[in-house]
């Protein structure tokens, strides 16, 4: 199936439609900055209608037996598997990540449908002993209602399926607003949902470059009972404040500032490979769980840092469809400038550039938004590059003396999403990629609230109801 069919319409109430105003927006390829597609730019009226459609579809979908909902989710899983190359191609085109990485993302994103297809049947309630005679007490779980979902551009498939699979499994209906940079993947997912037999209105996709207008409808429309958001902490806070007006349920997957700690007893080659994988090989560092600060124990810094730098210098920066590409473009000019200004300001404050440190503009790369994989040494915590989420291919390296010190420094951040360490001690983690469908994922502190994945993932989309029966 080609991606082209999805390119001019969005999906509302089971129909492929334009914006009521006729307005459109353009999606561009960050590797070339050429236009890829022209899509509807949904406004208030379109989003309101999408929520109405989701609200009309809700009672029937909620009443559909869980086993049947699970069967449809399993068909979505099968169709995603059949169309995995179309999905991966769309991801590389609109997001820029290397095609092999996009294929891995699609395989992972698909897994949320098989996991939650099975979980639909396992939403159990409780029978609770009554404290008084002549009563039966039940506790049941019910789908919460219409979900307004908002997703970012860094994982155009996974961020969507990690929300919609549990929501649909629970019996909720959904209006999704994908990132304006990466709506094509979401539209292919909508086509897959349509082809799977998912009833009209159960899943709707609105494409829009007016994110705050979409967010405002989700906050104002009384049928939206839950807002599921992945993105920046700042937007999350704004949505949370707005959601208080109608006490809507919210779940947030927000920013991170993950430490990556290398202790002196670690396998240094494995640690250097792990640091490269978790810092650079996920969307060129534009991931919320990327290592944002690398802490190396002083006693091994002279050995570890050159090993790490050598690996970083060997990374291949290239457009995503080039064979062997490892680092694709950044998503937009704003991120590119932010990454470069974090590097330049660190350098002005005394950081040393051990690799990279500039844009890459040679040959065909001059058309895109490429930044050289960068290692900074002599970094100090007060520098912005260590305090802020970098969201790019830059690794600030710092040294530490002992465990107590590095734990205190690692935790001295407003974020709390991911952390990594390499050691040979009793509790070795030594794994840069410990996240999977079967376990819940989510943040502490300003990194978010609520969990996605695991059996907890479905409960985010359910209300608990207590029933007391007089006998």
Q: Does 448 bind ligand NAP (CB under 6 A)?
A: yes
3-state helix, strand, coil in the chain (%, to 5): 40, 25, 35
Rounded least distance, CB 229 to ligand NAP, Å: 7
Please, are residues 397 and 298 in contact by the beta-carbon 8 Å criterion? no
Verify binding: residue 253, ligand NAP, rule CB under 6 A: yes
Q: State the Cα–Cα distance between residues 462 and 190, nearest whole angstrom.
A: 23
In the bound state with ligand NAP, the residue whose beta carbon lies nearer, of 143 and 392, is: 392
For Cα atoms 149, 154, 111, give the angle at the middle one, nearest 5 degrees.
70
Stretch that binds ligand NAP, among 187-195, 225-233, 352-360, 367-375 (CB under 6 A): 225-233
Closest CB 431 distance from ligand NAP, rounded Å: 18
The span of 147-155, 300-308, 317-325, 460-468 binding ligand NAP (CB under 6 A) equals 147-155
Contacts with ligand NAP: how many residues (CB under 6 A)? 28
Q: CA–CA distance from 14 to each of 17, 33, 199 (Å)?
A: 9, 32, 7
Work out whether 215 is an interface residue with ligand NAP (CB under 6 A).
Answer: yes
Q: Does 179 bind ligand NAP (CB under 6 A)?
A: yes
Site for ligand NAP in 254-293 (CB under 6 A): 254-256, 288
For the record, the structure tokens of 218 come out as 């989700």
Q: Between the CA atoms of 107, 113, 117 and 118, what dihedral angle is there, to the nearest 10 degrees?
A: 40
**Is residue 417 close enough to count as binding ligand NAP by CB under 6 A?**
yes
* Interface residue with ligand NAP, options 70, 231, 320, 356 (CB under 6 A): 231
**DSSP per-residue letters across 405-429:** HHHHHHH-SSEES--EEE-SSSS--
Identity of the residue, 411 or 468, whose beta carbon is nearer to ligand NAP in the bound complex = 411
- Binding region for ligand NAP (CB under 6 A) out of 117-125, 128-136, 153-161, 394-402: 153-161
Q: Is 302 helix (H, G, I), strand (E, B) or coil?
A: helix
Catalytic residue among 6, 172, 193, 288: 288
Residue 328: CB atoms within 10 Å? 29
How many Å apart are CA 273 and CA 291, to the nearest integer?
13
Cα dihedral value 353, 359, 360, 366, nearest 10: -170
Tokens of 319: 């457009």
Residue 212 vs 352, nearer CB to ligand NAP = 212
Q: Is 253 labeled as catalytic in the residue annotation?
A: yes
- 120 to each of 123, 167, 266, how far by Cα in Å? 6, 10, 42
- The residue (of 112 and 304) whose beta carbon lies closer to ligand NAP is 112
Instruction: Work out how close the CB of 254 gets to ligand NAP at its nearest, in angstroms, rounded to a whole number.
Output: 5
Residue 442 Cβ, how far from ligand NAP at the closest point, in Å?
Answer: 7
Q: Is 150 in the site for ligand NAP (CB under 6 A)?
A: yes
* Residue 159 vs 462, nearer CB to ligand NAP: 159
Q: Enumerate the β-bridge partners of residue 374.
A: 394
Alpha carbons within 13 angstroms on the beta-carbon side of residue 331 total 21
For residue 288, indicate whether it is catalytic.
yes
Interacting positions 361-400 with ligand NAP (CB under 6 A): 389
With residue 252 as reference, give the H or E element that holds it: strand 249-253
Residues 308 and 35: their CA atoms lie apart, in Å, by 37
CB of 227 to ligand NAP, least distance (A): 9
- Least Å distance between CB 183 and ligand NAP? 9
- Residue 256 Cβ, how far from ligand NAP at the closest point, in Å? 5
Helix axis angle for 99-119 and 158-170, nearest 10°, is 10
Residues 36-75 that bind ligand NAP (CB under 6 A): none
Residue 62 in tokens: 């909620």
Nearer to ligand NAP, 69 or 452 (CB): 452
**Pick 138 or 444: Cβ nearer ligand NAP:** 444
Our CB check for ligand NAP shows the closer of 112 and 308 to be 112
CB proximity list for 119: less than 8 A, separation 6 or greater: 166, 169, 455, 457, 458
Which listed range, 79-87, 149-157, 373-381, 453-461, lies at the site for ligand NAP (CB under 6 A)? Answer: 149-157
- Find out whether 60 and 179 touch, Cβ atoms under 8 Å: no
Q: In the bound complex, what is the minimum distance in angstroms from residue 452's beta carbon to ligand NAP?
A: 7
Among 70, 356, 432, 443, binds ligand NAP (CB under 6 A): 443
Quickly list H helices, 281-396. 301-313, 333-348, 384-387
Positions that interact with ligand NAP (CB under 6 A)? 150-154, 159, 177, 179-181, 209, 211-212, 215, 230-232, 235, 238, 253-256, 288, 389, 417, 443, 448
Catalytic residues, which ones?
253, 288
């Amino acid at each position: 199936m080609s991606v082209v069919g999805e390119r001019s319409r969005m999906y509302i109430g089971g129909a492929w439609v334009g914006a009521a105003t006729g307005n459109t927006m353009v999606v561009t390829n960050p590797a070339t900055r050429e236009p890829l597609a022209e899509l509807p730019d949904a406004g208030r009226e379109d989003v309101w209608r999408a929520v109405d459609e989701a609200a009309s579809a809700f009672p029937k979908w909620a009443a559909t037996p869980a086993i049947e909902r699970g069967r449809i989710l399993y068909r979505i899983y099968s169709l995603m598997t059949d169309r995995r190359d179309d999905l991966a191609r769309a991801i590389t085109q609109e997001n820029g990540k290397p095609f092999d990485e996009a294929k891995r993302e699609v395989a992972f994103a698909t897994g949320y449908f098989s996991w939650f297809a099975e979980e639909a049947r396992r939403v159990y309630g409780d029978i609770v002993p009554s404290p008084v005679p002549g009563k039966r007490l039940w506790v049941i779980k019910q789908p919460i209602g219409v979900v307004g979902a908002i997703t970012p551009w860094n994982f155009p498939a996974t961020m969507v399926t990690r929300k919609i699979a549990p929501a649909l499994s629970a019996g909720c209906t959904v209006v999704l607003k994908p990132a304006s940079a990466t709506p094509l993947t979401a539209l292919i997912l909508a086509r897959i949902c349509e082809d799977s037999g998912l009833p009209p209105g159960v899943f709707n996709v609105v494409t829009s470059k007016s994110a705050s207008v979409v967010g405002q409808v989700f906050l104002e429309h009384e049928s939206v009972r839950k807002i599921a958001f992945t993105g920046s902490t700042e937007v999350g806070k704004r949505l949370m404040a707005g959601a208080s007006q109608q006490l809507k349920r919210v779940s947030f997957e927000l920013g991170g500032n993950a430490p990556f700690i290398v202790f002196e007893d670690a396998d240094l080659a494995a640690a250097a490979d792990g640091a490269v994988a978790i810092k650079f090989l996920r969307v060129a560092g534009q991931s919320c769980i990327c290592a944002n600060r690398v802490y190396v124990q002083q006693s091994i810094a002279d050995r570890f840092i050159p090993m790490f730098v050598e690996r970083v210098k060997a990374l291949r920066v290239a457009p995503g469809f080039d064979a062997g590409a490892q680092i694709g473009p950044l998503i937009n000019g704003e991120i590119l400038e932010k990454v470069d200004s974090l590097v330049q300001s660190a350098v002005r404050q005394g950081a040393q550039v051990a690799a990279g440190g500039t844009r890459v503009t040679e040959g065909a790369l001059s058309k895109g938004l490429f930044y050289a994989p960068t290692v900074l040494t002599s970094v100090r915590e007060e520098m912005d590059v260590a305090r802020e989420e970098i969201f790019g291919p830059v690794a600030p390296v710092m040294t530490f003396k002992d465990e107590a010190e590095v734990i205190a420094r690692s935790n001295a951040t407003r974020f709390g999403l991911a952390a990594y360490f390499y050691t040979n001690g009793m509790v070795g983690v030594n794994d840069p990629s410990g996240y999977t469908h079967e376990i819940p994922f989510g943040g502490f502190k300003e990194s978010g609230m609520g969990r996605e994945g695991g059996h907890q993932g479905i409960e985010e989309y359910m209300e608990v109801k207590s029933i007391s029966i007089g006998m």
